[in-house]
Amino acid sequence: MSAVFSELLVVRQTLDKHSQLEAQLKQRIQQRIGDATKAVFETGDVTWKRSKDGSALDVAARCSKTSRNWRSATPSSNPVRAGFW
């Protein structure tokens, strides 16, 4: 059973190396064809969609601005609501 487990580990390492190589080759193809969405080769073709450029929310800056406004709007004392006692 130990030999089978060792073989499994070797296969996983091999798959990981091949997966990394696949990603590198794909990136090279995408860089070479630029903005095109399809590349045709002697042995086949490859197509993909280019994703839209995303925009990210700067949460840290937004929180710091909001917290300053929140502190100025928050009353300093904790008032008791009438009718609940």
Q: Does any domain span residue 36?
A: yes
Q: Is residue 38 part of a domain?
A: yes
Q: Encode pLDDT of 34-49 as tens digits.
A: 888 888 999 999 887 7
pTM above 0.95, yes or no: no
3-state SS assignment for residue 34: coil
- The token pair that represents 83 in the structure block: 């009718």
C-alpha 85/C-alpha 16 separation (Å) is 67
Encoded amino acid at 65, one letter: K
Q: Specify which of 22-31, 55-64, 75-84 reaches the highest per-range mean pLDDT.
A: 22-31
The reported pLDDT for the residue numbered 65 is 63
Q: Could you tell me the residue range of the domain that residue 23 belongs to? A: 1-45
Residue 50 lies in a domain: no
Domains identified in the chain, total number? 1
Has residue 14 got a pLDDT over 70? yes
